[in-house]
Amino acid sequence: MRGRLEGNTFLGILAKVCGMRTRNVGWFRWRYTSKWSSWSLRKLIDSSLTCRHEVEFIEQVVKDISSKLPTISADGNLIGMRNRINGMVSSLNEFPNELSMIGITGMGGIGKTTLARAVFDQICTEFEGSSFVENVRERSNSLLLGLKSLQQQALRDVLKKQDIFVNGVLEGKKEMKKKMHGIKVLVVLDDVDHIDQLKALAGERNWFKSGSKIIITTRDKQVLVAHKVNSIHDSTTAEEAVCLLSRCAFGKEIPCPGYEELSKKVVRYAAGLPLTITILGSSLCEAKEHEWIDTIERLKRIPLKETIQKLELSYMGLDDDCKEIFLDVACILKGWKEDEAIRSLESCGFHAIHGLSVLEKKSLITISKYGHLGMHDHIEEMGRYIVRRSNLDEPRRHTRLWIEDEVKDILINDLGTEATTCISVFTPEVNQGTIMKGLRKMEKLRFLLVNDFMHSNEREFDEDIQYLPNSLQYLRWNDYKLCFLPRKFQASNLVALEMPNSSLKQLWEGKERKVLHKLRFLDLSFSLLRTFDLGLTPNVEILDLRYCCRLVEFHVPLQCSKLKSLNLDHSKISTLDLRLVPNIETLTLMDCSDLVELDIPNKCLQLKFLNMCSPKLRSLDLRLVPNIATLNLIRCCDLVELHIPCECPQLTYLKVSSSKLRSLDLRLIMNIETLDLDECKDLVEPDMPVNTLKLEECDYLVEFDMFLESLVLRISTLRILAIGPIQNLETYKPSRLL
């Protein structure tokens, strides 16, 4: 429900307004104004509902919607674990009106997270709010924003609001107690390893409303004891293990005929660990009997406790490309967003989308609902061990470097070798000059990630020290201190260059013009750029120059047909010509305060998303962008003309706020769904077919009641109507609609 006026008013869901003609009406949102008379619930619903109380009606709507929502099913791999799931649910329901905290404990790989997720999915709809906070142990690390980010996630999930921020853990505790105290919630805290994490995320029982349930998974039982949870669950059974293996290998709950004993042997030699069983089962899918026997013989030679070596059997079955991708994820890319990881891997020449798909199917990685790459600790440990084992005592000979102390030692003492292909630098004690000097011997380096935490004023150092390997294909350097790329750096192999928050004023010093022919991805956001020449990056596909607040010139001297996405938010450019970027798909020009003209002289058939906030822009002509889908014109205060003279069949969302438009003709735009006209004070009457209409502070809609009735009667697809304060609107009685 979206607010309430005084009296018996129904402001959320309008089930029926015009009988059969407007059955698709979803909800109307009215912003409160004292000038409006209320709408009675009795007038808004059909005769069969007129005797019901508003609350009963709303409950019926909720029930009806819930019945149409798909039921969340448990993970297929949970077949055989039903008893444990039911046991936990029973434990939670033992005292339904009391707060319950229960724990799941056991060694890594035992299936704690899987069990918690299954229980969460089964009962989460019974609560007013719910949150599954994954990987608490790992994410509470300060480099990954720490506990406050987990507090924010819990609050956002439970309250279903994304605009919640906390400045620190102490404030987060206060907010959680304040906001969750009145809501019956279900919260899962996954992989907790310290009591401080519980104090930050579920500190006191009085944080939560009676009936709330908190589930905690951990390897350390003492953490649960110290937090005084109500009950603790652990262990798995041989029967469940065989069912899990069968599900992964055969796609059903029991083994295929002839494989019963083989399945039991695999489970036994896998030490009953669900993670190991899942990996082995996935690798044995569609395997012949002799392959099963071979796997069992290999398992026999591995000690029962050597989980990592068992997991490595699945790694050995990968092709070379997938092996390299797997090792990159295990050592560096775990936790990255999927699209960013794909960009990094593709830059290095790998078939990233295919490779990640293979790894996911083999249960070697996971991709969270938020799009982040995940990997179980044991699998991660196995991958890192593969990289390190051949030279355990000589890190400088490892193909990938990521351990802080080892990276620091190698860079400071100039111990680099050509064996290293990837390095991730998170070492605050090492300055940028030392980093560059330490890279000189890494002649085959393809991947470089530097996060500078020193925040020094280091701007210049000896030119001989300024160095980057020419072999680099992916380079991300946050807070790069120099004004230019090193003079000796050819960058001829560079596919992705990401230097956000840098001191770069331009790519190359002086009049030097090295063209980066292979560059596809460029991110120089929040840098000190004054000018940018697209001719130096003719094949770039994604260009991010947002918050380059000193950028006044953007040159496009030749056709850049591969550019798909351009972000110039908060730049100081005054004009932009799209003549030579014909295939652009997404253009973002938010808070470009000096932009007076967007020139579209040729057809831009691929342009689908245009986002602008340009107070000085006076007109915009869309006749050459027929395939636009989303048009966002925010605070274009001088906009007096918006031309849409041709059909735009894909345009479904149009927002124009704070403009000087007096009229808006969208009669040719037959598929528009959402129109938002906030604070268009000069607008007289828009003419359009819409599903969603938002009109706020449109002072000139003096004949609003007549307009609205004609609109609703004319448009059977209207779903959402949002109306704000309108100066001349005294009352609206929809009598003719009922």
pLDDT tens by residue, 327-349: 999 999 999 999 999 999 999 99
* pLDDT higher at 636 or 571: 571
DSSP 337: B
**Binning pLDDT at 50, 70 and 90, where does residue 251 land?**
confident
Segment 420-439 mean pLDDT: 91
Question: What does the pLDDT read at residue 689?
Answer: 57
Partners of 337 in the β-ladder: 372
Q: Which pair of structure tokens corresponds to residue 314?
A: 């699945």
For strands 373-374 and 366-367, give the pairing. Answer: antiparallel
Q: Which of 145-159, 449-463, 533-547, 653-667 has the lowest mean pLDDT?
A: 449-463
Segment 420-430 mean pLDDT: 90
Q: Which residue has the tokens 């039982």?
A: 221
**Binning pLDDT at 50, 70 and 90, where does residue 39 land?**
very low
Question: What does the pLDDT read at residue 232?
Answer: 85
DSSP 588: E
The total of other beta-carbon atoms located within 10 Å of residue 723's CB is: 21
The total of other beta-carbon atoms located within 10 Å of residue 386's CB is: 19
Question: What are the CA-CA distances from residue 442 to residues 16, 203, 331, 412, 699 (Å)?
Answer: 70, 48, 18, 14, 66
Q: Which residue has the tokens 């992989």?
A: 191
State yes or no: pLDDT of 367 exceeds 70.
Answer: yes
What three-state secondary structure class fits 556? Answer: coil
Classify domain 82-233 by CATH architecture. 3-Layer(aba) Sandwich (3.40)
Asked if 522 and 538 count as a contact pair (C-beta separation under 8 A), the reply is no
Q: Which residue has the tokens 């006209």?
A: 677
Q: Can you give the length of the chain in residues?
A: 738
Instruction: Indicate the fold that domain 320-388 takes in CATH.
Output: Arc Repressor Mutant, subunit A (1.10.10)
Q: Which pair of structure tokens corresponds to residue 375?
A: 């990997």
Question: What does the pLDDT read at residue 613?
Answer: 93
**Binning pLDDT at 50, 70 and 90, where does residue 674 land?**
confident
Segment 354-366 mean pLDDT: 90
Question: What does the pLDDT read at residue 42?
Answer: 39
pLDDT tens for each residue of 122-163: 999 999 999 999 989 888 875 556 899 999 999 999 998 888
Query: SS3 sequence, 409-474?
Result: HHHHCCCCCCCCCEEEECCCCCCHHHHHHHCCCCCCCCEEEEECCCCCCCCCCCCCCCCCCCCCCE
Question: What does the pLDDT read at residue 583?
Answer: 95
Question: What does the pLDDT read at residue 669?
Answer: 73
Segment 424-432 mean pLDDT: 86
Q: Which pair of structure tokens corresponds to residue 165?
A: 């921020």
Q: Which residues lie closer than 8 Å to 538 by C-beta, 6 or more apart?
A: 515, 517, 558, 560, 562
Domain positions in the chain:
82-233, 238-316, 320-388
Burial of residue 242 (number of CB atoms within 10 Å: 0-12, 13-18, 19+):
buried
Closest CA to 561 of 543, 544, 541: 541
Question: What does the pLDDT read at residue 167?
Answer: 84
State yes or no: pLDDT of 265 exceeds 70.
Answer: yes
Q: Which pair of structure tokens corresponds to residue 269?
A: 């030699």
State yes or no: pLDDT of 605 exceeds 80.
Answer: yes
CA 738, CA 398: separation in Å to the nearest integer? 75
For strands 422-425 and 400-401, give the pairing. Answer: parallel
CA 626, CA 291: separation in Å to the nearest integer? 57
**Binning pLDDT at 50, 70 and 90, where does residue 378 land?**
confident
Asked if 669 and 630 count as a contact pair (C-beta separation under 8 A), the reply is no
Asked if 594 and 574 count as a contact pair (C-beta separation under 8 A), the reply is yes
Closest CA to 605 of 587, 584, 578, 620: 584
Alpha helices, DSSP H, located in 32-183:
41-44, 54-68, 82-92, 112-123, 136-139, 147-159, 169-180
Q: Following DSSP, what letter does each residue of 214-246 receive, concatenated? A: EEEEES-HHHHHHTT-SEEE----HHHHHHHHH
CA 225, CA 220: separation in Å to the nearest integer? 9
Question: What does the pLDDT read at residue 687?
Answer: 63
State yes or no: pLDDT of 446 exceeds 90.
Answer: yes
Angle between helices 260-269 and 274-283 (to 10 degrees): 130
Closest CA to 93 of 238, 211, 181, 13: 211
pLDDT tens for each residue of 687-730: 655 555 555 445 444 444 545 555 555 555 555 555 555 555 44
Q: Which pair of structure tokens corresponds to residue 251?
A: 């796609």
Segment 431-445 mean pLDDT: 94
Question: What does the pLDDT read at residue 124?
Answer: 92
* pLDDT higher at 392 or 423: 423
Question: What does the pLDDT read at residue 156?
Answer: 93
CA 511, CA 492: separation in Å to the nearest integer? 18
Segment 15-35 mean pLDDT: 37
Q: Which long-range contacts (CB under 8 A, 24 or more apart) does 443-446 make?
A: 443/418, 443/469, 443/471, 444/418, 444/419, 444/420, 444/469, 444/471, 445/420, 445/421, 445/469, 445/471, 445/472, 446/348, 446/421, 446/422, 446/471, 446/472, 446/473, 446/474, 446/493
Percent of all residues in the chain with a pLDDT value above 70, rounded to a whole number: 77
Question: What does the pLDDT read at residue 16?
Answer: 36
* pLDDT higher at 144 or 599: 599
Q: Which of 179-183, 327-331, 437-441, 645-649 has the lowest mean pLDDT?
A: 645-649
* pTM attached to this predicted model: 0.71
Question: What does the pLDDT read at residue 241?
Answer: 82
* pLDDT higher at 26 or 692: 692
What three-state secondary structure class fits 545? Answer: coil
Q: Which of 75-89, 221-235, 414-428, 567-581 has the lowest mean pLDDT?
A: 75-89
For strands 630-633 and 129-133, give the pairing. Answer: unpaired
CA 165, CA 238: separation in Å to the nearest integer? 46
Question: What does the pLDDT read at residue 56?
Answer: 59
**Binning pLDDT at 50, 70 and 90, where does residue 204 land?**
confident
Closest CA to 356 of 314, 309, 321: 321
Question: What does the pLDDT read at residue 737?
Answer: 41
* pLDDT higher at 125 or 305: 125
Asked if 521 and 495 count as a contact pair (C-beta separation under 8 A), the reply is yes
State yes or no: pLDDT of 35 exceeds 90.
Answer: no
Question: What does the pLDDT read at residue 41?
Answer: 40
CA 186, CA 638: separation in Å to the nearest integer? 49
Q: Which pair of structure tokens corresponds to residue 538?
A: 């003719």
Question: What does the pLDDT read at residue 109?
Answer: 66
Q: How high does pLDDT run on average in the chain?
A: 81
**Binning pLDDT at 50, 70 and 90, where does residue 537 land?**
very high
Asked if 410 and 385 count as a contact pair (C-beta separation under 8 A), the reply is no
Question: What does the pLDDT read at residue 319?
Answer: 92
Asked if 445 and 421 count as a contact pair (C-beta separation under 8 A), the reply is yes
Question: What does the pLDDT read at residue 199?
Answer: 92
State yes or no: pLDDT of 230 exceeds 70.
Answer: yes
Q: Which of 158-162, 507-511, 671-675, 697-701 has the lowest mean pLDDT?
A: 697-701
